[in-house]
Structure 1
Amino acid sequence: MTYAIDPELVPWLDMLPKMTFSDRDSVLAARASMEDVKNVAPAYEPVNPLDIRDTTVPGPSGAPDVPVRVYAPANRDGVVPGLLYIHGGGFIVGDLDTFHTGLLRLVDQLGVVIVSVDYRLAPEHPFPAPVEDCYAALTWVAAKAAELGIDPARLGVAGDSAGGGLAAAVALLARDRGGPALSFQYLGIPELDDRLDTPSMRAYVDTPIWNRPNAIFSWTSYLGTEPGGPDVSPYAAPARAEDLSGLPPTFVVTSQFDPLRDEGIAYAQRLMQAGVNTELHHYPGTFHGSSLVEAAAVSKRMLADELDGLRRGLRVDTK
Structure 2
Amino acid sequence: MLGSRALIFITICILAVSYISYIKYPEACDYPLGIKAYYSATKILTFLADLSLRLGGKYLTPYRISEHDYSAPVEGIEVSIHKFGGVKTTVITPTGFGDNGGESAIIYYHGGGWALGGIAIYAAYLKKLSKESGMVVIVPEYRLAPENPYPIPFEDCLHATLAFVNIAKTFKVNPKKIVLAGDSAGGNLATAIALRLTNTRNTKLNPCMLNVVYPVLQMSNFMLPSYQQNRNPPLLTPPIMAHFFLLYIGLEKETKLITPMTHNLHMEGIKDEILLKRTSPNWIPDTYKKREYEKPKLRPTENEMKLLKTYKKKLQKFANDTTFAPLSASDEELKLLPRTHILTCEYDILRDDGIILYERMKKLKLDVSQQNLEFGAHGLLSLYGAVTYDKLDNAVAYMISQMKHGLSKC
Normalising by structure 1, we get a TM-score of 0.87
User: Which residue among 49, 58, 62 is the counterpart of 1:29?
Assistant: 62
Distance (Å, rounded) in 2 between the aligned partners of 1:15 and 1:104: 19
User: Which residue among 256, 266, 272 is the counterpart of 2:356?
Assistant: 266
Aligned residue identity for 2:397: A
Distance (Å, rounded) in 2 between the aligned partners of 1:189 and 1:44: 27
Q: Which runs of 5+ in 1 are unaligned?
A: 59-64
Rg larger for:
2
Residues 1:315 and 2:408 aligned together:
yes
Aligned residue identity for 2:245: W
Residues 1:237 and 2:350 aligned together:
no
Residues 1:45 and 2:74 aligned together:
yes
Q: Identity percentage over the alignment? A: 25
Q: Which runs of 5+ in 2 are unaligned?
A: 1-22, 252-256, 267-314
Tell me by how many angstroms 1:14 deviates. Answer: 4.2
User: Helix, strand or coil for the counterpart of 1:152?
Assistant: coil
Distance (Å, rounded) in 1 between the aligned partners of 2:349 and 2:132: 31
Q: Which residue of 2 aligns with 1:276?
A: 366
Q: 1:34 to 1:206 in 2, by over 3 A?
A: farther
Q: 1:151 to 1:79 in 2, by over 3 A?
A: farther
Residues 1:72 and 2:98 aligned together:
no
2:217 and 2:326 in contact (8 A); partners too? yes
User: Which residue among 184, 206, 213 is the counterpart of 1:161?
Assistant: 184
Tell me by how many angstroms 1:5 deviates. Answer: 4.1
Residues 1:129 and 2:152 aligned together:
yes
2:25 and 2:234 in contact (8 A); partners too? no
User: Helix, strand or coil for the counterpart of 1:67?
Assistant: strand
Q: Which residue of 2 aligns with 1:105?
A: 128
Q: 1:202 to 1:98 in 2, by over 3 A?
A: same
Give the strand-richer structure, 1 or 2. Answer: 1
Residues 1:246 and 2:317 aligned together:
no
- Cα deviation, 1:9-62, whole Å, max 9, x if unaligned, reads 175434433152544623121011123xx54xx74633x3x332111122xxxx
2:335 and 2:361 in contact (8 A); partners too? yes
Question: Mean alpha-carbon deviation: is it higher for 3-12 or for 240-249?
Answer: 3-12
Residues 1:186 and 2:211 aligned together:
yes
Tell me by how many angstroms 1:296 deviates. Answer: 2.8
The 5 A counterparts of 1:50-69 are 50-58=77-85, 65-69=86-90
Distance (Å, rounded) in 2 between the aligned partners of 1:174 and 1:211: 32
Aligned residue identity for 1:270: R
User: Which residue among 145, 149, 163 is the counterpart of 1:140?
Assistant: 163
Tell me by how many angstroms 1:92 deviates. Answer: 0.9
- Cα deviation, 1:140-171, whole Å, max 9, x if unaligned, reads 12111221211111111000111111111110
Question: Mean alpha-carbon deviation: is it higher for 248-257 or for 144-153?
Answer: 144-153
Aligned residue identity for 1:191: V
Distance (Å, rounded) in 2 between the aligned partners of 1:210 and 1:134: 24
Question: Mean alpha-carbon deviation: is it higher for 69-78 or for 228-237?
Answer: 69-78
Aligned residue identity for 1:9: Y
Distance (Å, rounded) in 2 between the aligned partners of 1:114 and 1:206: 33
RMSD, matched Cα: 2.4
Distance (Å, rounded) in 1 between the aligned partners of 2:27 and 2:352: 17
Residues 1:8 and 2:33 aligned together:
no
- Cα deviation, 1:251-277, whole Å, max 9, x if unaligned, reads 101111100011111111112223321
Tell me by how many angstroms 1:206 deviates. Answer: 1.9
Distance (Å, rounded) in 2 between the aligned partners of 1:144 and 1:214: 39
User: Which residue among 239, 246, 254 is the counterpart of 1:213?
Assistant: 239
Question: Mean alpha-carbon deviation: is it higher for 130-139 or for 229-238?
Answer: 229-238
Distance (Å, rounded) in 2 between the aligned partners of 1:118 and 1:200: 30
1:82 and 1:156 in contact (8 A); partners too? yes
Distance (Å, rounded) in 1 between the aligned partners of 2:248 and 2:141: 16
Tell me by how many angstroms 1:7 deviates. Answer: 4.7
Q: Which residue of 2 aligns with 1:173?
A: 196
User: Helix, strand or coil for the counterpart of 1:138?
Assistant: helix
2:29 and 2:376 in contact (8 A); partners too? no
Q: Which residue of 2 aligns with 1:62?
A: none
Q: 1:139 to 1:113 in 2, by over 3 A?
A: same
Distance (Å, rounded) in 2 between the aligned partners of 1:169 and 1:256: 24
Tell me by how many angstroms 1:316 deviates. Answer: 9.9
- Cα deviation, 1:69-94, whole Å, max 9, x if unaligned, reads 11223422266012211011111101
Give the helix-richer structure, 1 or 2. Answer: 2
Q: 1:198 to 1:133 in 2, by over 3 A?
A: same
**Number of aligned residue pairs:** 305
